[in-house]
Amino acid sequence: MIAQDAYNILWADLAALKRRWLRYLTTTLISPLLYLVAFGWGLGRGINLNGTSYLEFVVPGIIALTAMTTSFNGAGTRLNVDRLYFRSFDECLMAPIKLHSLLLGKALIGVVRGIFSSVAFLALATLIAPSIHIGPMFLAGLLLTCLTFSFLGVLAALLAKSHEDMGTFGSIILLPMTFLGGTFFSLSQVPTGLKYALYLLPLTHASTWLRAAALNQLLPWPSFLVLLIFLAAFVGGSMIAVRKMSI
């Protein structure tokens, strides 16, 4: 019943994505490809980190970054427009479905978009970094990353008072994580105090997990657990926000 209700909410967003999938894919691949060229081929050429080429090191980080941005924007921006512009979210609140099914349906479009963009970039990246290992643990981490940031997008959209608030949230929260979340550099290179601060960012744990899985390294299970904690916190925050709206 929960899955069916969530799919009913998701269906309209899937239909919109189906009509514009090629344009969406093209626009979402521009940033990660630019990062790959600038950091992987440009600044990182000839650099090795712990026996791994910088190109192989940075690809999983860019995948985590792509999953974060596309999942957050895919769920958050869509919900923000539905809630503040079309006012269609109010109709969803009046529908005879449970609130957690409603939130799951709104978050799943971010998951679909995040996985879609990340897998497309991964397919291109493996052509130049064929040693990247894609296994069940990598895919599990990618799914968890997309879920976590999709619900963060849902939470941000529910709290936003205007369309500008979403842009402000991205500038204050997402942009710092883009460059400080262990995406382009190893955390072993930063001072200890700063390292602990960076471990408070969910993207840090997503990058750590995906990189370890992709390079066949020892899996950092604490990072996987932390991502689950972040997911639970964002789901709980979204439930609190939507309940206040429905009262």
Question: What would the mean pLDDT of 65-71 be, rounded to a whole number?
Answer: 96
Residue 173 has pLDDT above 60, yes or no: yes
Structure confidence by residue, pLDDT tens digits, 131-149: 888 999 999 999 999 999 9
| Type of residue numbered 73 | N
Structure confidence by residue, pLDDT tens digits, 208-234: 999 999 999 999 999 999 999 999 999
Question: What is the predicted pLDDT for the residue at 127?
Answer: 83
Residue 44 has pLDDT above 70, yes or no: no
Question: What would the mean pLDDT of 46-70 be, rounded to a whole number?
Answer: 87
